[in-house]
């Protein structure tokens, strides 16, 4: 990725940056010459990530659903980085899996939306003052193929990722026309991350019967969407599912 360094944003803030897709993206940005600011809830994971990434990485602990804490984190990282050129909203939760609608609780449903939807909105809201000062700024969120297709027992997750798809379009229209800020999302199928292993179990992921993405696969798409040469890409929800959603259900 080093050859792309002059084409990528110099200062990137990543929510959910201590593990999984967020950390994989942070590694690629650092390799390309960018400085990164990480936001996450677990301070131990953040410290480990910064140690791994080196001196061009900084971090601040915050829950993306807590507006005051998130604003403080964004402001602190912007000060340390000297501004923000790109935001990557990678924080997410799997919600309640295998739970049918009769057993879905309002508390769990709203908690999933608070992280997966409100967390993206708040990160964009509080990064905006800094992004407005940066020519070619962008926001890239991590959605899911679950924003396009559904599986029984994943109502809250499907609803949250469907909201991310439409919020990407809404923010893209609003922020590009006024400020020239591009907003896109990557929407992968199943990715081998700590969150996925927590949700589905090691056995299923160690012996998959379907194509399995790595965090690095998704990170490459994140960097592509934030690259300055991708300036025409706005409001894109990049579905990355090995083409499975394009398959016909016709029994032949």
Q: Is the pLDDT of residue 6 over 60?
A: no
For the chain, the structural domain boundaries read: 2-91+116-145+164-238
Q: Is the pLDDT of residue 195 over 90?
A: no
| Rg for the chain, CA atoms, rounded | 17
Beta carbons of 221 and 190 less than 8 angstroms apart = no
| More confident site: 58 or 93 | 58
Residue-wise pLDDT tens digits, 26-59: 999 999 999 999 999 999 999 999 999 999 999 9
User: What SS3 string covers 176-212?
Assistant: HHHHCCEEEEEEECCECCHHHHHHHCHHHHHCCCCCC
Q: Is the pLDDT of residue 98 over 60?
A: yes
Q: Which residues are catalytic?
A: 157
Beta carbons of 110 and 195 less than 8 angstroms apart = no
DSSP state of 242: T
Tell me the pLDDT band of 199, cut-offs 50, 70 and 90.
low
Residue-wise pLDDT tens digits, 53-76: 999 999 999 999 999 999 999 999
- pTM (2 d.p.): 0.92
In CATH terms, the superfamily for domain 2-91+116-145+164-238 is: NAD(P)-binding Rossmann-like Domain (3.40.50.720)
Residue-wise pLDDT tens digits, 108-120: 999 999 999 999 9
């Amino acid at each position: 990725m080093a050859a792309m360094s002059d084409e990528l944003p110099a200062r990137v803030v990543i929510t959910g940056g201590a593990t999984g897709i967020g950390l994989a993206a942070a590694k690629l940005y650092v390799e390309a010459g960018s400085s990164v600011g990480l936001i996450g809830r677990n301070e131990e994971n953040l410290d480990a990530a910064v140690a791994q990434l080196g001196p061009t990485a900084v971090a601040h602990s915050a829950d993306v659903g807590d507006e005051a804490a998130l604003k403080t984190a964004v402001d602190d990282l912007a000060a340390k980085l000297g501004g923000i050129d790109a935001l990557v909203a990678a924080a997410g939760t799997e919600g309640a899996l295998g739970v049918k609608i009769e057993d879905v609780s309002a508390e769990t449903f709203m908690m999933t939306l608070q992280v997966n939807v409100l967390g993206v909105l708040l990160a964009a809201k509080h990064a905006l003052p800094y992004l407005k000062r940066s020519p070619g700024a962008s926001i890239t969120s991590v959605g899911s193929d679950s924003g396009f297709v559904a599986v029984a027992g994943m109502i809250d997750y499907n609803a949250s990722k469907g909201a991310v798809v439409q919020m990407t379009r809404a923010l893209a229209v609003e922020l590009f026309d006024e400020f020239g800020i591009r907003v896109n999302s990557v929407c992968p199928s199943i990715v081998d991350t700590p969150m996925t292993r927590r949700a589905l179990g090691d056995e299923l992921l160690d012996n998959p019967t379907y194509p399995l993405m790595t965090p690095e696969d998704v990170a490459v798409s994140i960097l592509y969407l934030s690259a300055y040469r991708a300036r025409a890409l706005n409001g894109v929800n990049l579905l990355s599912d090995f083409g499975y959603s394009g398959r016909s259900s016709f029994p032949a």
